[in-house]
Chain A
Amino acid sequence: MSYQLYRNTTIGNTLQESLDELIQYGQITPALAVKVLLQFDKSINQALSNRVKSRLTFKAGKLNTYRFCDNVWTFMLNDVEFREVQEVAKVDKVKIVACDGKNVDDRR
């Protein structure tokens, strides 16, 4: 079982929109769309853990809110500075949603 949380990203949302259109035009069934999404979960989880090598650090001016529910952490951070080596990106507000990474071996 792969995490489904990546469905709520640019690549996940655009897939869901595409599937919705195909369902509306009657070209696929909702059941088939679900299978595609499950395949997406598998593919994106694998791709992230095997193909991505970049490392970042970040520093937040303030942890505004935190929430821990069903093993999922949600944080609202203010005045966050992301840093990758020399490069810096600043945002005034960011939401972090994080699932437990320790289950990673169970779900392969």
Chain B
Amino acid sequence: MTMSQLSVMKLYNTVVDDVIAGVRDCFLDDGVDEQVLQELKQLWKTKLQATGAMDPPQPEPQIPPPPVLQNFQKANGNNVLPKKTDTYMGQQGSSQNSGVEHGAPVSNLAGAHPHHVLDPNNKVPVQLTLPAQPGVPGSQPRSFTIQIPASALNGNKLHQVLTGPIINATISLPQPLAATLLQQHINSALAGQQNEFDGGGGGGRSGAAPFSLDGALDSSDDEGSNVGDGSEDGAGDDDEDEESVEERAEEEEEERDESGGAEEEPLNSGDDVSDEEPGDMFDTDNVVVCQYDKITRSRNKWKFYLKDGIMNLGGKDFVFQKANGDAEW
């Protein structure tokens, strides 16, 4: 997707300049100072930059690996790559074998400064290393820095969240997209776990790990139809709703504590609400705004012929002249 993203910045600059030039006369006619026009241009460009939507794909991070990792590489020499590949395939839960390399903050927390207590709600940067893609020549291991709450460093939460499937899903993505996806996945998964822990460990609900997988990368076809499994909608879906859903969940946890039982019901009722309001379903972070040349349908098979599109996927903008696709209803 590099091409469609690289052209975004150029395109946006062109549009900004074009708009500013195009309205200069209107400003003059209205007796508005040229300086205000320049201010508009500056405001607009600043805000655009601030969204981060057109940040160019990040080059491989130049940050030297944390000391632990360096020692590891020295000690094992050529074994580094195969070993990482093994571990990411293996999905072991123990901290030494998972496909995740903790950066310096983690090792500080765990080892060198045991008394250094962080606010559990603080975000801590953690460096992850994805192994090289197996079978892809020239593929390199890649590092990202993601932000996770300090509380998630305790125990094995990160390892419960970062399981094989998510690593598999991100391994083939371009760097910025992979980082965004990982971050989103961790956010939603941890938000879900947080709910459970805050609520005093909601007894019979589905375990944290299978739940967390559904948020970002469930590839099964039954999503949306699984009304019975209420836990999925709690944290994995619309960001806008997250707070209210959490609040609702907390309230319901309290109710549940009092009544003791009927564990699935509150979440189901939450699902029903969103089913009845199709408006909610149309809230999503990933949006494509475009024009259609042709939309065809044969039975349940749809084909889309789109053009002149602006997409925002995972917070990044892409543009296309043509985009053809298909789907089944």
**A positions within 8 Å CB-CB of B:** 3, 5-6, 8-11, 14-15, 17-19, 21-22, 27-29, 31-32, 35-36, 39-40, 42-49, 51-66, 73-80, 82, 84-85, 87-102, 104
Contacts and interface: CB of A to CB of B under 8 A. Distances in A.
Interface stretch (B84-92, B108-116, B216-224): B216-224
A104 B291 contact: yes
A93 B289 CA distance: 14
Interface of B (DSSP majority class): mixed
A101 B308 contact: yes
Given A51-B14, A74-B282, 5 more contacts: A22-B43, A27-B39, A47-B18, A58-B324, A62-B327
B284 interface: yes
B229 to A, nearest CB: 16
Given A36-B19, A39-B23, A48 B308 contact: yes
10 contacts: A11-B317, A40-B15, A48-B11, A51-B14, A52-B11, A58-B325, A60-B326, A62-B224, A80-B286, A98-B306
Most buried by A among B10, B15, B284: B15
Nearest to A48: B308
A17 to B, nearest CB: 6
Contact of A95 (B16, B282, B293): B282
Given A40-B19, A57-B323, A96 B314 contact: no
B291 A3 contact: yes
B189 interface: no
Nearest to A102: B293
A101 B281 contact: no
Given A8-B289, A65-B278, A90-B217, A18 B40 contact: yes
B313 A89 contact: yes
Interface in B205-264: 215-219, 221, 223-224
Given A55-B323, A101-B307, A18 B44 contact: yes
Contacts of B177: 89
Nearest to B317: A10
Contact of B4 (A43, A56, A93): A56
